[in-house]
A and B are shown apart, each in its own frame.
Chain A
Amino acid sequence: MLRRALQLGLGRGLLGRRLGTHRGGSTLGKVEGSGGYRGSWVAPVSSYVTFRTRDPAHDGKTVGRLGEGDQNGKMSEIKKKIQSVLPGGAWNPPYDTSYLPPEHSDVVIVGGGVIGLSVAYWLKRLEKPRGAIRVLVVERDHTYSQASTALSVGGIRQQFSVPENIQLSLFSEYLAVVDDPPLDIQFNPSGYLLLASEKGAAVMESNVKVQRQEGAKVCLMSPEQLRNKFPWINTEGVALASYGMEYEGWFDPWCLLQGLRRKVQSMGVLFCHGEVTRFVSSSSHTETTSGEEVTLKRIHEVHVKIDRSLEYQPVECALVINAAGAWSGQIAELAGVGKGPPGTLQGTKLPVERRKRYVYLWHCPQGPGLETPFVVDASGAYFRREGLGNNYLGGCSPTEEEEPDPGNLEVDHDFFQDKVWPPLAQRVPAFETLKVRSAWAGYYDYNTFDQNGVVGPHPLVVNMYFATGFSGHGLQQAPAVGRAVAEMVLDGHFQTINLNPFHFSRFYLGEKVQEHNII
């Protein structure tokens, strides 16, 4: 087979070179058998190409070849060669295209944050046989400058984490890569302390009961016990406190993100630095069991536009996973979700939008010590210790009326003065003297319907799966959600945990899975 390829190369060598010089002779020179061919040892096409560019003994042989053979056969071969060289053709073009995503991919994951990478990890881990599925992760900003994952405060707590069999603690083992140091996500197991006033005490008790049934180690404390345990708290106005002791705390989300990226790349997932601009889909009409006509859509191609360029690559795919976080609403609109008369299933949009949240870092020399948990006050303000130098991170979620404009990530420092500092200073008297060191803003992928995630396929766009809308808790739910989506993709149903209540259809049916305790 190699000899045939050599003969073809020799036969068309001169023509091929002429084609090359029309486009600019240097393009042929760029193909060196590197770039897209790294790591593959069975690539006769590449050797065919390299042979053509590097063989100096071309001319003598090709002249003799051109003289023989019939003209018709030659013309059709030339036509075929020209067609294959044009973009979109079957043959790899003789210039470096390693920045483009592949032309075919089984699964395309839109969004390379912690949820998208978690889905990619579990897909690669649960696939049988090894290497069966080609996964492509499309991320438009590889610096993650606006990604919710990187800007997150990094807390995890038992109230939201789905069962223990997918523990973040095991993730450091799962993400171990040969030849690399073991992953350390800098977990602080200091626990969460939630404070409730008179109004919220009953709700907190029932919540704790539910959590204990799931196996969480939470203890309820009265103001007396609170004062004994944490002498720096002012318990005025606090009726009840729930203190999570095990498997709660905070960690460094950037470490997790980089660890996931490294592991997922070592497992063979392809990455693309680009933006999804279009979905090419086809529709088919069917009837439901009750006789209604429905239009089912199937996405065939994803157009990925390369960063800082007008070039795009159509990627043929079997499945699309929407893990775009704060921008998933826009991706869903591109796929045609929500284009229909309002009140119908076709007209139900994905209710995930960007909401801006501020985080402030301050220094307080007399502040609480090493044992400080992640404290969430009854008013909604929260803070946690950061490092060993008496620095604290904190913030507060604004009410619906005060929602800041999500157009940019500028920080409003007056918000700290008016809304964050007073409740915290009242709760922890040591915070009356503090100095704000820095602040940043990030997005929540806020689910305006019920502040809980959307997981699972869309009922009408049959091959688009959602894994978004976690409203500030995506980080802690990422391993579980990743596994659930991978099971849905590979087996067709959930196996380890049942996330059916989080299906998209609840937006149309109006069934809320309300989450009350979001921060």
Chain B
Amino acid sequence: MAAPRAPLHLVMPVWNRGTRGIRGLSRAVALEGSQKKGRSLLQFLADRFYDVQALREYLLQKQVLKVHQKNRPFTYIKERFGPHAAGAYFILKQGGAVKFQGKEWIRSDAHGHFSLDFLKFQAVPVEAVNASGCAINYQGLDSLLALKELRSLWLQRCPHVDDWCLGRLHPLANSLQELSLAGCPRISERGLASLHHLQNLRRLDISDLHAVSNPGLTRILVEEMLPSCQVLGADWAQGLPSGPDEQSQDKASPIPA
């Protein structure tokens, strides 16, 4: 049959892109041309052979299971050390960073190892969580929602955080003051509509949300919805034609004859 050296991207590139985050997105776009040939060969085979189709579905399921495994609840740690320690452990295991009240930021190193000293802080609440780029999903939020005194939550570029997850954030309404959702590929204006529960929110970052259909209008509506909150990102003039500025520029730079 055809080229045995064709790149065997056995998993759909969208999933691959998702797990690598927004930087992966730009890389994937550059590779689009070569990837397309490999993907269409595999698609051709999958359309005609049940085994290839089964193999691809199996690999897809494996990826899904991997994300599920990362988001499992740590019930033993929760019972033994309390919800704050369990939440911190969860975030550190995912590769994020945690800040306890009155302590420094704790983060895992390049190999994924981190010290377990924080398990000694029995009743010290977690103040800030930086979960940028982590594979947190709807189930994993259980661990985060137990952190009742969380002040600042950064969920930048999380590939599996979507509208359903935003609908779950209301238990943090009493304490949450800063929320960053920049660059999450699955969040749309429908999820942002459920943020009105977070009445203590003072800073909200909604830049680079590609699934939002109308960023400028969304920003205006979110500002109306949360009057005491400062909304960053999504310039309201985005997408509007610049009008007179553009015309004067054309006159200034004449087309060479």
Contacts and interface: CB of A to CB of B under 8 A. Distances in A.
Query: Are the chains A and B members of one assembly?
Result: yes
Interface of A: 39, 41, 130, 169-170, 173, 176, 178-182, 184, 186-191, 217, 245-247, 249, 369-371, 385, 388
Contact of A169 (B54, B60, B164): B164
Contact of B56 (A178, A245, A371): A178
Interface SS of A by simple majority: loop
B193 interface: yes
A388 B217 contact: yes
Interface in B166-215: 166-168, 170, 186, 188-194, 196-197, 211, 213-214
B40 to A, nearest CB: 10
Interface residues of B, number: 40
Contact of A173 (B43, B64, B186, B191): B64
Contacts of A180: 12
B163 A189 contact: yes
Given A178-B56, A178-B60, A188 B190 contact: yes
Interface stretch (B24-32, B77-85, B92-100, B221-229): B221-229
Residue in A184, A188, A370 with the greatest tally of chain B CB atoms within 10 Å: A370
Contacts of A178: 12, 46, 53, 56-57, 60
A176 B60 contact: yes
B39 interface: yes
A369 B221 CA distance: 7
Given A176-B60, A247-B167, A39 B193 contact: no
A189 B164 contact: yes
A189 B225 contact: no
Nearest to B191: A189
A127 to B, nearest CB: 14
B170 A188 contact: no
B139 to A, nearest CB: 9
B138 A169 contact: yes
A176 B222 CA distance: 31
A178 B194 CA distance: 31
B26 to A, nearest CB: 18
Question: 10 closest pairs, A vs B, by CB?
Answer: A189-B167, A371-B196, A188-B190, A370-B221, A169-B164, A370-B193, A189-B194, A178-B56, A370-B225, A371-B225
Contacts of A41: 48-49
A130 B217 CA distance: 48
Interface string B218-245: 1001101100000000000000000000
A176 B193 contact: no
B246 interface: no
B217 to A, nearest CB: 5
A10 B57 CA distance: 43
A187 B165 CA distance: 11
Interface of B: 12, 14, 39, 43, 46-49, 53-54, 56-57, 60, 64, 138, 163-164, 166-168, 170, 186, 188-194, 196-197, 211, 213-214, 217-218, 221-222, 224-225
Given A169-B138, A176-B64, A191-B194, A249 B167 contact: yes
A187 B190 CA distance: 7
Nearest to A385: B193
15 contacts: A176-B64, A178-B12, A178-B57, A179-B46, A184-B186, A187-B164, A187-B190, A189-B164, A189-B191, A245-B167, A245-B170, A247-B164, A370-B222, A371-B194, A388-B217
B214 to A, nearest CB: 6
B218 A388 contact: yes
Nearest to A249: B167
B12 A188 contact: no
Contacts of A181: 14
Contacts of B53: 178
A328 B193 CA distance: 38
A179 B43 contact: yes
Nearest to B57: A178
Given A39-B47, A179-B56, 7 more contacts: A178-B60, A190-B194, A191-B194, A246-B168, A369-B221, A369-B224, A388-B214
Nearest to A267: B57
Residue in B53, B164, B190, B192 with the greatest tally of chain A CB atoms within 10 Å: B190
Contacts of A184: 186, 211
Nearest to B218: A388
